[in-house]
Amino acid sequence: MDHPDNQPGTAASAASAASAASAGTSTITLAGGCFWCTEAVFDRVRGVTDVQSGYSNGHAQNPTYEQVCTGHTGHAEVVRLQFDDAVISLREILEIFFATHDPSQLNRQGNDVGTQYRSGIYYETEAQGELARQMLKEMAAEGIYDAPITTEVAPLSNWSAAEPYHDDYYARNPNQGYCAAVVGPKVAKFRKTFVRFLKDA
């Protein structure tokens, strides 16, 4: 995932990025490859009230995009979602997540290769983790994928928001090369498959 036409911004700290969830709102952090793709999908999901790109579950504090891209910080590119439990459930969120990336690819999505592109579900409550693990068992039993599912399920750690230029990247740059070739088709697949969850449906 290249962005030669952009200049890096300033990474926000975890403290400034985090906000208290309101009543009836839950938060889950997902890694599904390039966060431009994952953000673009969940921006369109009914009941999702906030989507923030960032980095998590690495060993460094507040890394930059360039540092994460080296693979040396251990972070995944993630999106942190806030969603209204009365409108959409976590199971439905995860169904969309699994359908819009390939969880059987280890440390990559398509041509994006590296541990930062791994598949991951990073939870904030044990109940969320239990549901994620149960869904992985169900998917494995159904034999949906030819290869083993590689999705990491772990408590959220070392979260920090990405640089501001990543925010709404696809919405602002739909004709950029990567967006047109990779993000656009993924969004189109989501819109076709999950019509009932579209905000504009």
Kindly report, residue by residue over 66-123, the tens digit of the pLDDT: 999 999 999 999 999 999 999 999 999 999 999 999 999 999 999 999 999 999 999 9
Q: Where are the alpha helices (DSSP H) in the chain?
A: 14-17, 35-42, 65-69, 90-99, 126-142, 169-172, 177-178, 184-193
How far from 133 is each of 58, 139, 169, CA to CA, in Å?
A: 21, 10, 31
Read off the pLDDT of each residue in 20-48 and give the average, rounded to a whole number: 90
Which residues make beta-bridge pairs with 77? 55
**Mean pLDDT for the chain overall:** 90
Buried b vs exposed e over 75-96: b needs ≥16 C-beta within 10 Å?
Answer: bbbbbbbbbeeeebebebbbeb
Average pLDDT over residues 22-28: 83
Alpha-carbon gap, residue 55 to 160, rounded angstroms: 5
Q: What is the pLDDT of residue 155?
A: 99
CA distance 149 to 157: 22
37 included as an active-site residue: no
Look at the domain 23-195 and name its fold: Peptide Methionine Sulfoxide Reductase; Chain A (3.30.1060)
CB 59 within 8 A of CB 73: yes
Q: Any idea where the domains of the chain sit in the sequence?
A: 23-195
- pLDDT per position as a tens digit, 109-158: 999 999 999 999 999 999 999 999 999 999 999 998 999 999 999 999 99
Residue % of the chain over a pLDDT of 70: 88
Residues 6+ apart with CB under 8 A from 116: 55, 68, 69, 71, 75, 76, 77
Nearest to 98 by CA among 194, 1, 199, 2: 194
Averaged pLDDT for residues 36-52: 98
Question: Which entry of 34, 37, 69, 179 is annotated as an active-site residue?
Answer: 34
pTM for the complete prediction?
A: 0.87
pLDDT, residue 21, reads 44
